[in-house]
Structure formats: structure tokens, C-alpha cells
Structure 1
Amino acid sequence: MPELPEVEIIKQSLAKKIEQKKIKKVIIKNRNLRFKIPQKFEELLKNKIIKKVTRFSKYLILNFSDGSFCLIHLGMSGTIHLIKKNDLNKYTNVSFYNSPSLPKKHNHVEIQFQDLKVIYNDPRRFGFFKFLDNKQELINRFRHLGPEPFFKNFNLKYLLKYFFNKKKDIKSFLIDQKFVSGIGNIYASEILFLSKIKPTKNAMKLSEKDCKKIISFSKSVLNKAILKGGSSIRDFKNTSGRKGNFQKEFKVYQRENLNCVRNKCTGKIKKIFISNRSTFFCNTCQK
């Protein structure tokens, strides 16, 4: 599943290509995504001018010039491909995971502009598109989600209050979007390793020092992942020719039974399952 850094890279890629452009036509080839695309969707988007492409958490947001919005969530396997007229570049994927070129199957939504088109591909169909009439609807849509790690309100006071008397493990909190938006399974393991915190530790037992580490490393890990192009796992170029290679920076994720990379640590990386998700940690330096 694409996490915050991957969605940020997609946002940046799209912003360069489709901002200030008018949507000429929308073609829906399969309405049966996570939420069924309504019949009127094509007409709602037609002739809309994209003022800005933004992001919140793992959601892409097309901001239209008339004050309406289109929300896009990529689900587990969704990718967005940019096809330019008369361009023979085989790398169409604006992200760094799954197929680098446009697959022949599962192309469900096509948004056409004057000189290019954006195609949404999703084999598992867990993603969705949602049209919102105004800013208040957008605010309401995100009301149940926690702050992003980059927000000012993701601070020590927030963490201490949220964790008070909570017996749930810290790893489960980090991937809970109601607590913090945008951190997924991969980055949670990396953040906890850098913080020297065992993923099974009860949140209520975290010290102020622990919480400060989580705040700091949440920001730094995600920022570094964005700069590195996200965690593609498969290493290929996107439409701009850049590679997503944050996976080369992993300290624990997918390093089961390998030696800990921390200096003078004699531990091994172990794999367990928390909330049905694979979790990696050092059995010695994370306490």
C-alpha cells in the first residue's frame, strides 16, 4: 500500500503536469472500485480547471478553480499513469511501485486534458474517487483522522494525552490513522528502530523522552523517504527518470535474521506480526 511519502511523490509529479489545466473528458471503464463511482461523476469533472494538486495523509486532492474537490485514494494497489501525446517514454507511472509502464488491464478511470491524459490503474480495486462540492465537505471528510507527523499539533502534549492509560502497543498506534495520518507499516518499523523502542511496548509506558523521539524520527524518516522517492521495493524509474530507492535505507524492514546495523549492537532483526502486519525490530537495542 502506498504510504505518505509515495503519495507525496505522486502529488509532486502530477502538480507539475496538470495544474492550471482544464479537464476535457472523463472516461470510466469500471465504476466498481472500493466505493462505486456515481453515474454523474464524468459530468461533474468535465471542464473543471485544476487550480492545485494537494495531499493529506495518503489522499490526493484535486483542487478545482470553482471551490470543489476530487479526492483520490490509491488503496492497496492503485497507480496513476501519465500519458503525453506523441511521447514514446515507456515510463508512465508517476509513482515508484508496481508496473513502471501502463498495464493493459485494470485501467478504470481516464481523465483527459488537451495534451495528456491521466489513467488510474488498480488491480485490487480498493482505491476510490470522491467528488466534494466545497471546503467544508473536505474538512468533514478528514475529521476522523489524526494529524500528520509534520503538523504542529503532533507534539509532546498530544502524544502524552493520547497515550494516557492506553495498553495498546505503540506499533499499532503508529499505523492507526486516527492517531497519526500517513505513517504506514514500513515506516512505523523504521521509526521505532531509530527511537530504540520495541514495537510491542505499551503506549502508556512510554516516557516523555520516548515520545519526543517518536515525534522527531517520524518527521525525519518520512522526509528522507520523500527525498529518496519513497519505498518502491522494486527499483525502476518514473516518468521524470528518477528512482525510488528509500528501501536501500531500511534499517529493519525486510531484514529478518540479519545483524543490527547500529554500531556495537550484537542483536538480530526479528519479524513478528502486530495487527496482522509484519513488524521488524532489533531484539537487543529496542526496549
Structure 2
Amino acid sequence: MPELPEVEIVRQSLDKKIKQKSIKKVIIRNKNLRVPLPKNFSSFLMNKKIIKVDRFSKYLILNFKSGEFCLIHLGMSGTIHIIDIKKKLKFTNASFYHSPILPKKHNHIELIFNSLKVIYNDPRRFGFFELVENSEKLENRFKNLGPEPFNLNFNLNYVFNYFEGKNKNIKTFLLDQKFVSGIGNIYASEILFLSKIYPFKKASLLTREDCKKIIYYSKKILLRAIKKGGSSIRDFKDTLGSSGNYQKEFKVYQQEGLRCKTIGCTDTIQKKIVSNRSTFFCNSCQN
């Protein structure tokens, strides 16, 4: 699943291409996504002018001049392809996983503008679109989600107090969007490795210093990943033909059996499956 950095790359691509443009036509080939499209989906979007494309956590937000919004969540396998109607592009994928070229199957939704179209492709159909009528409802939509790592509310008092009395392990909390929004499995393993914190340690046992490290490395790693264009776990290239490069900097994720990259450490990276999620760590460096 694309995590915050990868969704941010999609946001940047979309904002550059469709900002200040109006939707001229909507084509629905399959309305049955994770949540079926509302009956008024096409009429809601028709002739709407997009003033900007925002993001919160792993959600893309189309901001319309009318004051309404459309949320897009890519789910596990959703990708967005930008097609230039006048100029044939070799690479169309503005997203993260899968082919850089528009697939022939599973193109469920098309938003057509004057000179380009945006196509939503999703083989597993775990993604969804959601229509929001105003800013108050948008704010209410995200009220149960935690702050993003970049938000000022993701601070020492918030993190340390949140963990008080909590017996779940810290890895579980980093994946819990009610605690912090946008971190997924890849970056959670990397954050805990650099913080030198054992992923299965109870959150209530973390010190204030531990919490400082988690805050610091959450920001540092996600910002670095955005700068590097995200992590291309597979053969991802964006609309410019560029690959995400952060995977070249992985310390533990998908490094099982390899020697730990910490200077002086002779241990190897281990992997454990917890709740059907892979966790990568160094037993010597993280305690």
C-alpha cells in the first residue's frame, strides 16, 4: 500500500497537471470499489473546477472552486494515470505500485479535462472515492485520525501521554492511524531501527527520550522519502519516467538475512510476521 511519501508524490503530480482545470466528462466503468460510488458521482464532479490538490495522511483531496471536495484513497493496489490527449506519453503512472504504463484492465474511472484525462486503475478494488459537501464535513471526516508526523500536534507531550498505560507494542501504534496518520509498514520498520527501539516493546515502557527519537525520525525519514520520490518496491516510474529512490536507503525493510548496516554491528536483520504484517529489525541494535 502506498504510504504518505508515495501519496504525496501523486498529489504533486496531480496538482501540477489538473490545478485550475475543470472536469468536462466523467466515465465510470466499474462503480464497485471498496465503497460503491455514490449515485450522484458523475453529476457532482461535472464542470467542477479544481483549485488545488491537497493530501491528508494517505488521502488525496481534490479541492473544488465550489467549496466541495472529492477524496481519493488508493487502497492496496490503486494507481492514477495521467494521459495527455494531445501528446502520447510513454509513462503515465503518477502513483506508486505496478506498471508505469497504463494497464489494459481495471481502469474503473476516468476524469476527462480539455487536454488530458486522469484514470483510476485498481486490480483489487480496495481504493475508493468519497464526495464531501463542505469544509466542515471534511474536517469532521478526519476527526478520528491522529496528526501527521509533520504536524505540530505530533509532539513529545502528545506521544508520551498517548502511550501511558498502553500494552500494545510500539510497531502496532505506528501503524495505527488513530495515533499518527500516514505511516505504514515500510517506514514504521525504518523509524524504529534508527530510533534503536525494539518493535515489540510495550508502548507504556517507552521513555521520553524514546518518544523524542520516534518523533524526530518519523519526520526525517518521511521527508527524505518524499525528496527521493518515494520507495519503488517494484518497477515504478512516474509520468516523467523517474523512479522512487528511497528503497536504496532501506536499513531493515526487506533486508532479512543481510548484515546490519550499523557500523560495528555483526548481527543480521530479522523478520517476524505479526498480524499478517512483516516487521524487520536488528536484535542487537534495537532493544
Quickly name the TM-score band, shorter chain normalised: over 0.9
**Is 2:264 aligned against 1:270?**
no
The answer for the alignment partner of 1:218 in structure 2 is 218
One-letter code of the match for 1:130? E
Cα separation, 2, equivalents of 1:145 and 1:38: 23
One-letter code of the match for 1:41? F
The answer for the alignment partner of 1:203 in structure 2 is 203
**Is 2:224 aligned against 1:227?**
no
One-letter code of the match for 1:152? L
The answer for the alignment partner of 1:286 in structure 2 is 286
Is the contact made by 2:2 and 2:96 (CA closer than 8 Å) also made in structure 1?
no
One-letter code of the match for 1:143? K
Cα separation, 1, equivalents of 2:32 and 2:198: 41
Question: Which 4+ residue blocks in structure 1 deviate beyond 4 angstroms?
Answer: none
Shift of 1:170: 0.1
Shift of 1:40: 1.3
Comparing 7-16 with 236-245, greater Cα deviation is found at 236-245
Cα separation, 2, equivalents of 1:235 and 1:220: 25
Is the contact made by 1:62 and 1:70 (CA closer than 8 Å) also made in structure 2?
yes
**Is 2:51 aligned against 1:88?**
no
CA deviations on 1:63-118 (whole Å, 9 max, x unpaired) are 00010000000000000000001322220001232110100000000000000000
Secondary structure of 1:50's match? strand
**Within-5 A mapping of 1:1-287:** 1-287=1-287
Shift of 1:149: 0.2
Cα separation, 2, equivalents of 1:139 and 1:184: 22
One-letter code of the match for 2:29? K
CA deviations on 1:257-276 (whole Å, 9 max, x unpaired) are 11100000121100002232
CA deviations on 1:178-213 (whole Å, 9 max, x unpaired) are 000000000000000000001000000001110000
One-letter code of the match for 1:165? G
One-letter code of the match for 1:18? I
Is the contact made by 1:69 and 1:131 (CA closer than 8 Å) also made in structure 2?
yes
Cα separation, 2, equivalents of 1:189 and 1:267: 17
Cα separation, 2, equivalents of 1:86 and 1:64: 25
Cα separation, 2, equivalents of 1:132 and 1:89: 32
Secondary structure of 1:281's match? strand
One-letter code of the match for 2:239? T
Gaps of 5+ in 1: none
Is the contact made by 2:30 and 2:109 (CA closer than 8 Å) also made in structure 1?
yes
Secondary structure of 2:171's match? helix
One-letter code of the match for 1:281? F
Is the contact made by 1:233 and 1:245 (CA closer than 8 Å) also made in structure 2?
no
Is the contact made by 1:34 and 1:126 (CA closer than 8 Å) also made in structure 2?
yes
Cα separation, 2, equivalents of 1:278 and 1:60: 26
Is the contact made by 1:193 and 1:281 (CA closer than 8 Å) also made in structure 2?
yes
Secondary structure of 1:256's match? coil
Cα separation, 2, equivalents of 1:236 and 1:7: 13
TM norm structure 2 = 0.99
TM norm structure 1 = 0.99
Cα separation, 2, equivalents of 1:81 and 1:269: 36
Cα separation, 2, equivalents of 1:102 and 1:8: 20
Comparing 98-107 with 271-280, greater Cα deviation is found at 271-280
Shift of 1:236: 4.0
CA RMSD of superposed structures (Å): 0.8
Cα separation, 2, equivalents of 1:277 and 1:268: 20
